[in-house]
A and B are shown apart, each in its own frame.
Chain A
Amino acid sequence: MPEQRILLRRHLGVDFTKLDNYLKHGGFKMWKRAIELGPDGVIAEVKTSGLRGRGGAGFPTGVKWGFLPKDGRPRYLVVNADEGEPGTFKDRYFLEEDPFRQLEGILISAYAIGAHVCYIYIRGEYWNSKDVTNDAIQQLYKAGWLGKNIQGSGFDLDVYVHSGAGAYICGEETALIESIEGKPGMPRLKPPFPANFGVFGMPTIVNNTETLSAVPVILEMGPEKWSALGSPKNGGTKLMGVSGHVKKPGLFEVPMGTPMREIIYELGGGVLDDKEILAVIPGGSSCPFLTKDEIDVPMDFDALKGVGSMLGTACVTVIAEGTDMIKVMSRVAKFYQHESCGQCTPCRQGTGWIHAICQKLDSGAAGPEAIDLLIDACNQIDGNTICAHGEAAAWPIRSICKKFRPQLEAAIRARMAA
């Protein structure tokens, strides 16, 4: 299946960081449509589209918006642009190359949910993204697309970039909220959920950059037509990428449900040096690894769940045969140890243990029985933490131990013999 470019439009060669260019290509046309529909009408359209959160969790966006209590308290829209999942590079595109798409989505979505302040939480290391987005915001204020009485509508909205500072955990929505409040990014217990008690204790909706960028497109195409682009219950197109051992790594836009094999072999050009695939990570290193026999899976939330993994961010990492899986596992383990916020003992200690065992395996100081110890450690983290960082740490390691045991054992024996 070829690419279906709606959101991703690098190929046009237009500088979409300039508001004039964005407007020339139909930008902000959907604001008028949103006003016609009214807030409830916009929410209904998004619900009908079945849009599911593009940050990785896949929760229906319109349903999330419907959770806001009608109690008169001020509401906030927060954008999760804390892209940090290893293997992922999709939100960077909107932030750096097409910033108004997200901002148009923010304007329409804030209007729909009745928010007058929006914080865009951009990961700290994304200096260019912050600069481009801040510049785009300034252009919008000057042109009357942000601020008071936007385009004579009577609707007010202020948008601010809030920079992260190098903590992956702040991609977890309640940690992100804590971080906006100036606190360490430690996830909150839920409930209460952000829709009721979010940033500064107020009702808050947290949506991913790609999710909000899709909102104007849904209004423009109509929710049914947009939804029909994807697979059942997985509407629309999605930015998907491929990196690692492939000939043409890159970012693409395809309908949800496109087989992973096509992403790797057609869009990604196949494996480097025409090797066989050893392992694939479907959408960032929190996702359980797959073997080469599993790559016919359609890339959507439900199909990947069906094979025991996750769509995640839909940026695929390909690992070719001959790669040392102990080293791969150790890198993954190190990441989750480094990024654990430390408040839950199973995660704080468990990720440390897992990384330490991986290092022992890597140095030849542990035998094959350590694989079972790793699985045991994963089992003790899984389900025993406040947030999903625990599962994100446990699931990929456990999947490597279970699916690639022969490769691990061979690598262990080679080290012990050396």
Chain B
Amino acid sequence: MAAHQMDHDTQSPHEDLSFSAATQAKIQDLLTRYPRKQGALIPTLYLAQDEFGWLKPGAMELVARTLELPVTTVLATAMFYTMLYKTPHGRFHIQICTNVSCFLLGADDLVAAAREVLGIGPGETSADGLFTLEQVQCLCACERAPTLQINKKDYFNVTPTKMREILAELQQEGARLGPSVGWTGHEHGGHSHA
């Protein structure tokens, strides 16, 4: 696992966040599922990410308070998992599989097409907060390679032409929706997933 870095400056005050009522109800349900509160940690971090866009320091502290865990415990777990975002991501998280089966069938051409359309490389987020491009490991749909995932949606048998079409649609949608929840711009969000 690549070394993760995060600005978790304990000296400066972080945002004092709270969960919506709907999320609080979901957390109460999660707590019935595990004999220890820490069991609910990963699902609660997902809920915090959905609500605040990414796991900003204030969100980590909120999770720690909610589950009565030390902040360090929450951080240690959050840092380990790539799908728990320690930095702001674009509204559209383009994840292209470049592992063996997808590589054999031209996944690198998809990365090149995305780079050309979006003007960003793997591990980068566009300045408008709309797109994060990433090369990911096997998505396990190899019989439909090359594959990619955008946010929670899978795309199969993708060609460079199809890649350009998908991105053009998302650019239109992004113009309407604006950047992701919790997008704070590059001054906080400069990051690399490499």
Chain A interface residues toward B at CB < 8 A: 83-89, 92, 123-128, 158, 160, 162-168, 179-185, 200, 241-245, 249-251, 281, 285, 315, 317, 319, 323, 327-328, 331-332, 335, 338-342
Contacts and interface: CB of A to CB of B under 8 A. Distances in A.
Given A88-B140, A242-B143, A250-B143, A182 B40 contact: yes
A127 B93 CA distance: 14
Nearest to A83: B140
B98 interface: yes
Q: Which 9 A-B pairs have the closest CB atoms?
A: A182-B41, A165-B81, A184-B80, A243-B142, A166-B83, A166-B82, A182-B38, A86-B138, A127-B152
B145 A180 contact: no
A206 B82 CA distance: 24
Given A181-B38, A184-B80, A327 B103 contact: yes
Contact of B138 (A84, A179, A185): A84
Nearest to A119: B33
B137 A335 contact: yes
Interface of B: 1-2, 33-36, 38-43, 45-46, 73, 76-77, 79-84, 98-101, 103-105, 136-145, 149, 152-154
Contacts of A281: 100
B81 A251 contact: no
A124 B83 contact: yes
B137 A244 contact: no
Chain B contact residues, majority secondary structure: mixed
Given A88-B142, A163-B42, A244-B142, A331 B82 contact: no
Contact of B98 (A84, A164, A285, A331): A331
B152 to A, nearest CB: 4
Given A180-B39, A182-B42, 5 more contacts: A125-B139, A125-B140, A163-B43, A181-B38, A184-B77
Contact of B84 (A127, A165, A332): A165
Contacts of A184: 76-77, 79-81
A141 to B, nearest CB: 13
Contacts of B36: 181-182, 200
Contact of B100 (A86, A166, A241): A86
